[in-house]
Structure 1
Protein backbone atom coordinates (compact mmCIF):
# COMPACT_ATOMS: atom_id res chain seq x y z
CA UNK A 1 0.00 0.00 0.00
CA UNK A 2 1.13 3.57 -0.65
CA UNK A 3 1.63 4.41 3.02
CA UNK A 4 3.68 1.29 3.65
CA UNK A 5 0.97 -0.45 5.68
CA UNK A 6 0.01 -4.07 5.05
CA UNK A 7 -3.48 -5.14 4.03
CA UNK A 8 -5.31 -6.90 6.85
CA UNK A 9 -3.04 -5.52 9.59
CA UNK A 10 -4.58 -2.78 11.74
CA UNK A 11 -2.35 -0.02 13.06
CA UNK A 12 -1.27 -0.49 16.67
CA UNK A 13 -0.04 3.07 17.09
CA UNK A 14 -1.61 4.47 20.26
CA UNK A 15 -2.88 1.00 21.24
CA UNK A 16 0.34 -0.30 22.82
CA UNK A 17 2.73 1.30 25.28
CA UNK A 18 5.19 3.92 24.08
CA UNK A 19 8.08 1.53 24.82
CA UNK A 20 6.51 -1.26 22.80
CA UNK A 21 5.73 1.05 19.88
CA UNK A 22 9.32 2.32 19.80
CA UNK A 23 10.61 -1.27 19.80
CA UNK A 24 8.21 -2.08 16.96
CA UNK A 25 9.34 0.86 14.84
CA UNK A 26 13.03 0.09 15.35
CA UNK A 27 12.56 -3.61 14.64
CA UNK A 28 10.58 -2.93 11.47
CA UNK A 29 13.38 -0.59 10.40
CA UNK A 30 15.91 -3.40 10.87
CA UNK A 31 13.87 -5.71 8.64
CA UNK A 32 13.62 -3.07 5.92
CA UNK A 33 17.35 -2.30 6.13
CA UNK A 34 18.21 -5.98 5.68
CA UNK A 35 16.00 -6.04 2.57
CA UNK A 36 17.51 -2.80 1.28
CA UNK A 37 21.03 -4.22 1.57
CA UNK A 38 20.02 -7.47 -0.14
CA UNK A 39 20.67 -9.73 2.84
CA UNK A 40 17.13 -11.15 3.13
CA UNK A 41 16.12 -14.70 2.20
CA UNK A 42 12.47 -14.50 1.07
CA UNK A 43 10.38 -14.98 4.26
CA UNK A 44 13.11 -16.89 6.10
CA UNK A 45 15.53 -15.77 8.80
CA UNK A 46 14.41 -13.47 11.56
CA UNK A 47 15.08 -10.45 13.73
CA UNK A 48 13.57 -9.91 17.17
CA UNK A 49 13.28 -7.20 19.80
CA UNK A 50 12.56 -7.60 23.50
CA UNK A 51 9.89 -5.24 24.79
CA UNK A 52 11.08 -3.39 27.92
CA UNK A 53 9.55 -4.84 31.07
CA UNK A 54 9.83 -7.81 33.44
CA UNK A 55 7.77 -10.18 31.27
CA UNK A 56 10.51 -10.70 28.65
CA UNK A 57 7.96 -10.52 25.86
CA UNK A 58 9.49 -10.03 22.46
CA UNK A 59 8.56 -9.15 18.90
CA UNK A 60 9.36 -11.21 15.81
CA UNK A 61 8.35 -11.31 12.17
CA UNK A 62 5.01 -12.67 10.98
CA UNK A 63 5.89 -15.80 9.02
CA UNK A 64 4.98 -15.32 5.38
CA UNK A 65 5.74 -11.60 5.08
CA UNK A 66 8.73 -10.35 3.12
CA UNK A 67 11.25 -8.22 4.98
CA UNK A 68 10.58 -5.27 2.68
CA UNK A 69 6.90 -5.39 3.71
CA UNK A 70 7.49 -5.37 7.46
CA UNK A 71 5.80 -2.66 9.51
CA UNK A 72 5.71 -1.77 13.18
CA UNK A 73 2.10 -2.95 13.48
CA UNK A 74 2.59 -6.25 11.65
CA UNK A 75 5.21 -7.62 14.06
CA UNK A 76 4.05 -10.43 16.34
CA UNK A 77 4.37 -10.24 20.14
CA UNK A 78 5.17 -13.54 21.86
CA UNK A 79 6.37 -14.78 25.24
CA UNK A 80 9.34 -17.01 26.04
CA UNK A 81 7.15 -20.09 25.58
CA UNK A 82 6.20 -19.07 22.04
CA UNK A 83 2.62 -18.05 22.84
CA UNK A 84 1.26 -15.30 20.57
CA UNK A 85 -0.01 -12.43 22.73
CA UNK A 86 -2.00 -10.38 20.21
CA UNK A 87 -4.58 -10.80 17.50
CA UNK A 88 -2.86 -11.44 14.19
CA UNK A 89 -3.61 -13.38 11.00
CA UNK A 90 -0.02 -14.65 11.03
CA UNK A 91 2.00 -17.24 12.92
CA UNK A 92 5.74 -17.31 13.61
CA UNK A 93 8.69 -19.28 12.27
CA UNK A 94 9.35 -22.07 14.82
CA UNK A 95 13.09 -22.10 14.07
CA UNK A 96 13.16 -18.37 14.72
CA UNK A 97 11.52 -18.91 18.09
CA UNK A 98 14.16 -21.48 19.07
CA UNK A 99 17.10 -19.19 18.34
CA UNK A 100 15.68 -15.91 19.57
CA UNK A 101 13.96 -17.13 22.73
CA UNK A 102 17.23 -18.71 23.84
CA UNK A 103 19.24 -15.51 23.57
CA UNK A 104 16.55 -13.17 24.90
CA UNK A 105 16.09 -15.39 27.95
CA UNK A 106 19.80 -15.70 28.69
CA UNK A 107 21.11 -12.23 27.89
CA UNK A 108 19.63 -9.14 29.54
CA UNK A 109 21.62 -6.97 27.13
CA UNK A 110 20.12 -8.78 24.12
CA UNK A 111 17.33 -6.35 23.31
CA UNK A 112 17.71 -7.01 19.57
CA UNK A 113 18.77 -10.27 17.91
CA UNK A 114 19.32 -10.62 14.15
CA UNK A 115 19.93 -13.84 12.21
CA UNK A 116 20.62 -13.86 8.46
CA UNK A 117 21.37 -16.30 5.62
CA UNK A 118 23.33 -13.96 3.34
CA UNK A 119 25.43 -15.51 0.56
CA UNK A 120 28.76 -14.32 1.91
CA UNK A 121 27.87 -14.91 5.55
CA UNK A 122 26.96 -18.53 4.83
CA UNK A 123 30.06 -18.92 2.65
CA UNK A 124 32.41 -17.86 5.44
CA UNK A 125 30.43 -19.88 8.00
CA UNK A 126 31.11 -22.91 5.78
CA UNK A 127 34.88 -22.32 5.69
CA UNK A 128 36.80 -24.32 8.29
CA UNK A 129 39.03 -21.31 9.03
CA UNK A 130 36.04 -19.11 9.87
CA UNK A 131 36.56 -15.37 9.64
CA UNK A 132 40.18 -14.49 8.93
CA UNK A 133 41.97 -11.24 9.89
CA UNK A 134 42.18 -10.10 6.27
CA UNK A 135 40.52 -6.69 6.50
CA UNK A 136 39.99 -3.84 8.92
CA UNK A 137 36.33 -4.83 9.12
CA UNK A 138 37.34 -8.35 10.16
CA UNK A 139 39.72 -7.01 12.81
CA UNK A 140 36.85 -4.99 14.29
CA UNK A 141 34.57 -8.04 14.29
CA UNK A 142 36.92 -10.76 15.57
CA UNK A 143 37.04 -9.76 19.27
CA UNK A 144 33.23 -9.87 19.31
CA UNK A 145 32.82 -13.11 17.33
CA UNK A 146 31.72 -16.57 18.49
CA UNK A 147 30.91 -19.80 16.60
CA UNK A 148 28.15 -22.40 16.86
CA UNK A 149 28.28 -25.76 15.07
CA UNK A 150 25.45 -26.72 12.75
CA UNK A 151 22.87 -29.12 14.22
CA UNK A 152 20.21 -28.95 11.50
CA UNK A 153 17.23 -26.62 11.15
CA UNK A 154 16.79 -25.02 14.58
CA UNK A 155 13.63 -26.85 15.65
CA UNK A 156 15.11 -28.76 18.58
CA UNK A 157 14.70 -26.72 21.75
CA UNK A 158 17.58 -28.64 23.33
CA UNK A 159 19.90 -26.68 21.03
CA UNK A 160 19.12 -23.46 22.89
CA UNK A 161 21.42 -24.30 25.79
CA UNK A 162 24.33 -25.01 23.45
CA UNK A 163 23.66 -21.86 21.43
CA UNK A 164 23.69 -19.72 24.56
CA UNK A 165 26.84 -21.43 25.81
CA UNK A 166 28.62 -20.83 22.52
CA UNK A 167 27.78 -17.15 22.20
CA UNK A 168 28.72 -16.43 25.82
CA UNK A 169 29.10 -12.67 26.19
CA UNK A 170 29.93 -12.04 22.51
CA UNK A 171 27.68 -9.94 20.29
CA UNK A 172 28.37 -11.58 16.91
CA UNK A 173 28.31 -15.19 15.81
CA UNK A 174 28.89 -17.38 12.79
CA UNK A 175 26.48 -20.29 12.76
CA UNK A 176 28.50 -22.95 10.95
CA UNK A 177 27.06 -23.94 7.54
CA UNK A 178 24.11 -21.71 8.32
CA UNK A 179 24.57 -17.95 8.59
CA UNK A 180 25.29 -14.94 10.76
CA UNK A 181 23.89 -13.63 14.04
CA UNK A 182 24.14 -10.31 15.86
CA UNK A 183 23.02 -9.22 19.32
CA UNK A 184 22.59 -5.61 20.41
CA UNK A 185 21.49 -3.61 23.41
CA UNK A 186 20.03 -1.19 20.87
CA UNK A 187 18.76 -1.54 17.32
CA UNK A 188 21.65 0.67 16.23
CA UNK A 189 24.32 -1.54 17.75
CA UNK A 190 22.70 -4.72 16.46
CA UNK A 191 22.55 -3.29 12.94
CA UNK A 192 26.07 -1.88 12.82
CA UNK A 193 27.51 -5.06 14.33
CA UNK A 194 25.82 -7.14 11.64
CA UNK A 195 26.89 -4.65 8.98
CA UNK A 196 30.55 -5.08 9.95
CA UNK A 197 30.23 -8.88 10.09
CA UNK A 198 28.53 -9.10 6.70
CA UNK A 199 31.01 -6.70 5.09
CA UNK A 200 33.95 -8.63 6.57
CA UNK A 201 32.53 -11.86 5.12
CA UNK A 202 32.09 -10.28 1.69
CA UNK A 203 35.65 -8.97 1.72
CA UNK A 204 36.96 -12.41 2.68
CA UNK A 205 35.02 -14.16 -0.09
CA UNK A 206 36.42 -11.69 -2.63
CA UNK A 207 39.96 -11.86 -1.26
CA UNK A 208 39.96 -15.66 -1.47
CA UNK A 209 38.25 -15.85 -4.85
CA UNK A 210 41.62 -16.06 -6.60
CA UNK A 211 42.98 -18.60 -4.13
CA UNK A 212 44.42 -18.34 -0.64
CA UNK A 213 48.03 -18.08 -1.81
CA UNK A 214 49.36 -14.56 -1.44
CA UNK A 215 46.50 -13.29 0.72
CA UNK A 216 47.83 -11.05 3.49
CA UNK A 217 46.93 -11.74 7.11
CA UNK A 218 47.06 -8.56 9.19
CA UNK A 219 50.13 -8.46 11.48
CA UNK A 220 49.55 -9.43 15.11
CA UNK A 221 50.53 -5.95 16.31
CA UNK A 222 47.98 -4.36 14.00
CA UNK A 223 45.29 -6.74 15.19
CA UNK A 224 46.03 -5.80 18.80
CA UNK A 225 45.97 -2.10 17.95
CA UNK A 226 42.54 -2.36 16.33
CA UNK A 227 41.20 -4.30 19.33
CA UNK A 228 42.25 -1.47 21.62
CA UNK A 229 40.87 1.19 19.29
CA UNK A 230 37.37 -0.28 19.12
CA UNK A 231 37.11 -1.73 22.62
CA UNK A 232 34.41 0.78 23.59
CA UNK A 233 32.17 0.30 20.54
CA UNK A 234 31.86 0.67 16.79
CA UNK A 235 29.66 3.73 16.38
CA UNK A 236 26.16 2.32 16.13
CA UNK A 237 24.45 5.40 17.55
CA UNK A 238 26.29 7.64 15.11
CA UNK A 239 25.35 5.65 12.00
CA UNK A 240 21.74 4.76 12.91
CA UNK A 241 20.01 8.11 12.20
CA UNK A 242 21.50 8.17 8.71
CA UNK A 243 20.28 4.63 8.09
CA UNK A 244 16.76 5.67 9.07
CA UNK A 245 16.95 8.66 6.72
CA UNK A 246 17.98 6.28 3.93
CA UNK A 247 14.96 4.10 4.72
CA UNK A 248 12.66 7.12 4.67
CA UNK A 249 13.93 7.94 1.17
CA UNK A 250 14.20 4.47 -0.35
CA UNK A 251 11.78 2.17 1.49
CA UNK A 252 9.37 4.24 3.60
CA UNK A 253 6.47 2.92 5.66
CA UNK A 254 8.21 0.80 8.27
CA UNK A 255 6.70 2.95 11.04
CA UNK A 256 3.10 2.22 10.02
Structure 2
Protein backbone atom coordinates (compact mmCIF):
# COMPACT_ATOMS: atom_id res chain seq x y z
CA UNK A 1 0.00 0.00 0.00
CA UNK A 2 1.26 3.47 -0.90
CA UNK A 3 1.12 5.91 2.03
CA UNK A 4 1.11 9.67 1.52
CA UNK A 5 3.92 11.49 3.40
CA UNK A 6 1.28 13.99 4.57
CA UNK A 7 -0.64 11.44 6.66
CA UNK A 8 -0.63 12.41 10.33
CA UNK A 9 0.70 9.76 12.77
CA UNK A 10 -2.04 8.39 15.02
CA UNK A 11 -2.52 6.09 17.96
CA UNK A 12 -2.28 2.60 16.48
CA UNK A 13 -4.65 1.00 18.98
CA UNK A 14 -7.32 3.57 18.13
CA UNK A 15 -6.76 3.02 14.42
CA UNK A 16 -7.04 -0.73 14.92
CA UNK A 17 -10.42 -0.42 16.66
CA UNK A 18 -11.68 1.97 13.99
CA UNK A 19 -10.64 -0.52 11.32
CA UNK A 20 -12.52 -3.32 13.06
CA UNK A 21 -15.66 -1.24 13.53
CA UNK A 22 -15.68 0.12 9.98
CA UNK A 23 -15.15 -3.35 8.52
CA UNK A 24 -18.02 -4.62 10.68
CA UNK A 25 -20.28 -1.80 9.46
CA UNK A 26 -19.46 -2.67 5.85
CA UNK A 27 -20.36 -6.32 6.40
CA UNK A 28 -23.55 -5.33 8.21
CA UNK A 29 -24.59 -3.21 5.23
CA UNK A 30 -24.34 -6.35 3.10
CA UNK A 31 -26.16 -8.33 5.80
CA UNK A 32 -29.11 -5.93 5.57
CA UNK A 33 -28.92 -5.67 1.74
CA UNK A 34 -28.25 -1.94 1.87
CA UNK A 35 -25.25 -2.09 -0.47
CA UNK A 36 -25.24 -1.85 -4.26
CA UNK A 37 -22.94 -4.25 -6.06
CA UNK A 38 -19.37 -3.25 -5.29
CA UNK A 39 -20.25 0.44 -5.10
CA UNK A 40 -20.96 2.69 -2.06
CA UNK A 41 -18.39 3.60 0.55
CA UNK A 42 -17.70 4.14 4.25
CA UNK A 43 -14.98 6.20 5.90
CA UNK A 44 -13.64 6.99 9.37
CA UNK A 45 -11.26 9.79 10.37
CA UNK A 46 -8.20 8.73 12.35
CA UNK A 47 -6.27 12.01 12.77
CA UNK A 48 -7.33 14.79 15.16
CA UNK A 49 -8.14 17.13 12.26
CA UNK A 50 -10.12 14.43 10.45
CA UNK A 51 -8.17 14.76 7.23
CA UNK A 52 -6.44 11.39 7.52
CA UNK A 53 -9.11 8.75 7.16
CA UNK A 54 -9.87 5.12 6.40
CA UNK A 55 -12.04 4.14 3.43
CA UNK A 56 -13.06 0.79 1.97
CA UNK A 57 -11.01 -0.55 -0.95
CA UNK A 58 -12.21 0.11 -4.48
CA UNK A 59 -14.83 -2.31 -5.76
CA UNK A 60 -14.51 -4.89 -2.98
CA UNK A 61 -17.79 -6.50 -1.92
CA UNK A 62 -18.93 -5.29 1.49
CA UNK A 63 -19.48 -8.85 2.75
CA UNK A 64 -15.72 -9.49 2.41
CA UNK A 65 -14.50 -6.37 4.23
CA UNK A 66 -11.50 -6.86 6.48
CA UNK A 67 -9.99 -4.39 8.94
CA UNK A 68 -6.46 -4.80 7.58
CA UNK A 69 -7.51 -4.08 4.00
CA UNK A 70 -9.07 -0.66 4.57
CA UNK A 71 -7.18 2.15 2.86
CA UNK A 72 -5.51 4.95 4.84
CA UNK A 73 -5.64 8.21 2.85
CA UNK A 74 -5.05 11.93 3.23
CA UNK A 75 -7.88 14.28 2.24
CA UNK A 76 -5.36 16.95 1.23
CA UNK A 77 -3.23 14.72 -0.98
CA UNK A 78 -3.98 15.50 -4.65
CA UNK A 79 -2.08 12.38 -5.75
CA UNK A 80 -4.37 9.96 -3.91
CA UNK A 81 -6.13 8.91 -7.10
CA UNK A 82 -2.74 8.17 -8.72
CA UNK A 83 -1.99 5.46 -6.15
CA UNK A 84 -2.02 1.88 -7.44
CA UNK A 85 -4.59 1.11 -4.73
CA UNK A 86 -6.60 4.32 -5.24
CA UNK A 87 -10.12 4.31 -3.77
CA UNK A 88 -13.28 4.52 -5.87
CA UNK A 89 -13.45 7.98 -7.53
CA UNK A 90 -16.85 8.81 -6.03
CA UNK A 91 -15.64 7.63 -2.60
CA UNK A 92 -12.74 10.04 -2.85
CA UNK A 93 -14.94 12.90 -4.08
CA UNK A 94 -17.55 12.56 -1.33
CA UNK A 95 -15.52 11.45 1.68
CA UNK A 96 -12.47 13.67 1.24
CA UNK A 97 -14.81 16.68 1.10
CA UNK A 98 -16.76 15.53 4.16
CA UNK A 99 -13.61 14.99 6.22
CA UNK A 100 -12.14 18.32 5.16
CA UNK A 101 -15.28 20.36 5.82
CA UNK A 102 -17.29 18.75 8.64
CA UNK A 103 -15.56 18.40 12.05
CA UNK A 104 -18.32 16.31 13.65
CA UNK A 105 -18.27 13.82 10.76
CA UNK A 106 -15.60 11.51 12.11
CA UNK A 107 -17.46 8.68 10.37
CA UNK A 108 -19.42 8.87 7.10
CA UNK A 109 -21.53 6.06 5.64
CA UNK A 110 -22.85 6.48 2.10
CA UNK A 111 -25.33 3.93 0.74
CA UNK A 112 -28.15 3.34 -1.75
CA UNK A 113 -30.43 1.19 0.47
CA UNK A 114 -33.70 0.14 -1.21
CA UNK A 115 -36.32 2.06 0.75
CA UNK A 116 -34.33 5.25 1.34
CA UNK A 117 -33.31 5.30 -2.32
CA UNK A 118 -36.93 4.78 -3.36
CA UNK A 119 -37.92 7.72 -1.19
CA UNK A 120 -35.08 9.75 -2.74
CA UNK A 121 -36.70 9.33 -6.17
CA UNK A 122 -39.87 11.17 -5.13
CA UNK A 123 -40.50 14.84 -5.81
CA UNK A 124 -40.81 15.24 -2.04
CA UNK A 125 -38.32 12.80 -0.45
CA UNK A 126 -38.76 14.15 3.07
CA UNK A 127 -39.52 11.86 6.00
CA UNK A 128 -42.78 12.82 7.68
CA UNK A 129 -43.22 12.14 11.42
CA UNK A 130 -45.85 9.39 11.22
CA UNK A 131 -44.44 7.04 13.88
CA UNK A 132 -41.70 7.15 16.49
CA UNK A 133 -38.92 6.09 14.09
CA UNK A 134 -39.79 8.61 11.39
CA UNK A 135 -40.09 11.27 14.11
CA UNK A 136 -36.45 10.66 15.02
CA UNK A 137 -35.52 12.61 11.89
CA UNK A 138 -37.91 15.52 12.40
CA UNK A 139 -36.00 18.71 11.48
CA UNK A 140 -32.83 16.60 11.63
CA UNK A 141 -32.47 15.44 8.03
CA UNK A 142 -30.58 17.52 5.48
CA UNK A 143 -32.03 17.53 1.96
CA UNK A 144 -29.71 17.52 -1.03
CA UNK A 145 -31.95 18.25 -4.02
CA UNK A 146 -29.20 19.04 -6.56
CA UNK A 147 -28.13 15.68 -7.94
CA UNK A 148 -25.48 16.20 -10.60
CA UNK A 149 -24.68 12.63 -11.63
CA UNK A 150 -22.28 10.07 -10.17
CA UNK A 151 -20.15 12.04 -7.71
CA UNK A 152 -16.74 11.60 -9.33
CA UNK A 153 -15.94 15.31 -9.57
CA UNK A 154 -14.55 17.39 -6.72
CA UNK A 155 -17.31 20.00 -7.02
CA UNK A 156 -20.02 17.36 -6.49
CA UNK A 157 -18.35 16.13 -3.30
CA UNK A 158 -17.94 19.67 -2.00
CA UNK A 159 -21.62 20.42 -2.66
CA UNK A 160 -22.73 17.26 -0.84
CA UNK A 161 -20.52 18.09 2.15
CA UNK A 162 -21.89 21.63 2.28
CA UNK A 163 -25.45 20.25 2.30
CA UNK A 164 -24.76 18.00 5.29
CA UNK A 165 -23.82 21.01 7.43
CA UNK A 166 -24.61 20.37 11.10
CA UNK A 167 -26.92 17.44 10.39
CA UNK A 168 -26.17 13.76 11.00
CA UNK A 169 -28.06 12.44 7.96
CA UNK A 170 -28.75 13.66 4.45
CA UNK A 171 -31.36 12.52 1.94
CA UNK A 172 -29.76 12.76 -1.50
CA UNK A 173 -32.43 13.23 -4.17
CA UNK A 174 -32.19 10.80 -7.10
CA UNK A 175 -29.22 9.20 -5.37
CA UNK A 176 -29.27 7.69 -1.86
CA UNK A 177 -28.42 8.63 1.72
CA UNK A 178 -25.43 9.46 3.92
CA UNK A 179 -25.10 9.42 7.69
CA UNK A 180 -22.28 11.07 9.63
CA UNK A 181 -21.39 10.82 13.31
CA UNK A 182 -18.53 10.92 15.81
CA UNK A 183 -18.39 7.09 15.94
CA UNK A 184 -19.08 4.11 13.71
CA UNK A 185 -21.73 2.89 16.13
CA UNK A 186 -23.70 6.15 15.93
CA UNK A 187 -23.43 6.40 12.15
CA UNK A 188 -24.54 2.77 11.76
CA UNK A 189 -27.50 3.18 14.12
CA UNK A 190 -28.56 6.33 12.25
CA UNK A 191 -28.39 4.48 8.92
CA UNK A 192 -30.37 1.55 10.32
CA UNK A 193 -33.17 3.78 11.55
CA UNK A 194 -33.08 6.01 8.48
CA UNK A 195 -33.73 3.00 6.27
CA UNK A 196 -36.46 1.79 8.65
CA UNK A 197 -38.08 5.23 8.57
CA UNK A 198 -37.92 5.25 4.76
CA UNK A 199 -39.50 1.79 4.67
CA UNK A 200 -42.37 3.02 6.81
CA UNK A 201 -42.85 6.02 4.52
CA UNK A 202 -42.85 3.91 1.34
CA UNK A 203 -45.29 1.38 2.81
CA UNK A 204 -47.56 4.12 4.12
CA UNK A 205 -47.59 5.84 0.72
CA UNK A 206 -48.40 2.50 -0.93
CA UNK A 207 -51.76 2.31 0.88
CA UNK A 208 -52.98 5.39 -0.97
CA UNK A 209 -54.48 6.74 2.24
CA UNK A 210 -53.75 10.12 3.80
CA UNK A 211 -50.81 10.15 6.18
CA UNK A 212 -51.53 10.84 9.85
CA UNK A 213 -48.67 13.30 10.43
CA UNK A 214 -47.81 14.32 13.99
CA UNK A 215 -47.96 17.93 15.07
CA UNK A 216 -44.61 19.73 15.09
CA UNK A 217 -44.70 19.86 18.89
CA UNK A 218 -45.25 16.11 19.26
CA UNK A 219 -42.68 15.24 16.58
CA UNK A 220 -40.05 17.39 18.25
CA UNK A 221 -40.72 15.84 21.66
CA UNK A 222 -40.34 12.34 20.19
CA UNK A 223 -37.12 13.33 18.43
CA UNK A 224 -35.75 14.61 21.73
CA UNK A 225 -36.68 11.34 23.43
CA UNK A 226 -34.40 9.50 21.01
CA UNK A 227 -31.48 11.49 22.39
CA UNK A 228 -32.17 10.10 25.86
CA UNK A 229 -31.55 6.60 24.49
CA UNK A 230 -28.08 7.37 23.14
CA UNK A 231 -26.47 4.41 24.88
CA UNK A 232 -28.74 2.08 22.93
CA UNK A 233 -26.95 3.10 19.73
CA UNK A 234 -23.67 1.66 21.02
CA UNK A 235 -25.36 -1.48 22.33
CA UNK A 236 -27.11 -1.96 18.99
CA UNK A 237 -23.78 -1.95 17.14
CA UNK A 238 -22.08 -4.23 19.67
CA UNK A 239 -24.94 -6.71 19.41
CA UNK A 240 -24.76 -6.69 15.62
CA UNK A 241 -21.01 -7.36 15.77
CA UNK A 242 -21.84 -10.43 17.84
CA UNK A 243 -24.25 -11.50 15.09
CA UNK A 244 -21.40 -11.10 12.59
CA UNK A 245 -19.07 -13.13 14.84
CA UNK A 246 -21.56 -15.97 14.50
CA UNK A 247 -22.67 -15.60 10.88
CA UNK A 248 -19.85 -13.85 8.98
CA UNK A 249 -16.65 -13.80 11.06
CA UNK A 250 -13.31 -12.49 9.82
CA UNK A 251 -14.02 -8.76 9.58
CA UNK A 252 -11.52 -8.01 12.38
CA UNK A 253 -8.61 -9.66 10.53
Give the structure-2-normalised TM-score: 0.87
Aligned: 1:146 with 2:142: yes
The answer to which of 136-145 and 183-192 deviates more is 136-145
1:182 aligned counterpart, secondary structure: strand
More moved, 42-51 vs 216-225 = 216-225
Task: Return the match for 2:100 from 80, 105, 120.
Answer: 105
SS in 2 for 1:141: coil
1:133 equivalenced with 2:139 (yes/no): no
Question: Which of 168, 190, 195 matches 1:171?
Answer: 168
The aligned counterpart of 1:252 is 249
Q: SS state of the match for residue 59, structure 2? A: coil
Where structure 2 has 5 or more consecutive residues not aligned to the other structure, the ranges are 1-10
Alpha-carbon displacement from aligned partner over 1:176-204 (angstroms, at most 9, x marks no partner): 11001000101110000111101000111
Which residue does the alignment assign to 1:183?
180
Partners of 2:52 and 2:74 within 8 A in 1: yes
Contact persistence 1:64–1:90 (CA under 8 A) = no
Show the counterpart of 2:6: none
Kindly indicate whether the alpha-carbon contact (under 8 Å) linking 1:82 and 1:97 is maintained by their aligned counterparts in 2: no
Within 5 Å, which residues of 2 pair with 1:1-256? 17-54=12-49, 56-80=51-75, 81=77, 83-84=79-80, 90-130=85-125, 131-149=127-145, 150-211=147-208, 213-231=209-227, 234=230, 235-256=232-253
Normalising by the residue count of structure 1, what TM-score does the alignment of the two structures yield? 0.86
Structure 1, 189-198 or 150-159: larger mean CA deviation: 150-159
Q: Which has the higher helix share?
A: 2
Do the aligned partners of residues 54 and 123 (structure 1) sit closer, same or farther apart at CA in structure 2, a change above 3 Å counting?
A: closer
Matches of 2:196 and 2:112, distance apart in 1: 14
For the Cα contact (< 8 Å) 1:49–1:58, is it kept in 2? yes
Secondary structure of the residue aligned to 1:77 is strand
Q: Deviations over 1:192-248 (max 9, x none)?
A: 01111010001111111122x333212333212213323456432232211111111
Structure 1 unaligned spans of 5+: 1-15
Local SS of the residue matching 2:57: coil
Q: Provide the residue aligned with 1:3 in structure 2.
A: none
Closer/same/farther in 2, CA of residues 55 and 218 from structure 1, 3 Å limit: closer
Over the residues paired in the alignment, what is the CA RMSD in angstroms? 2.0
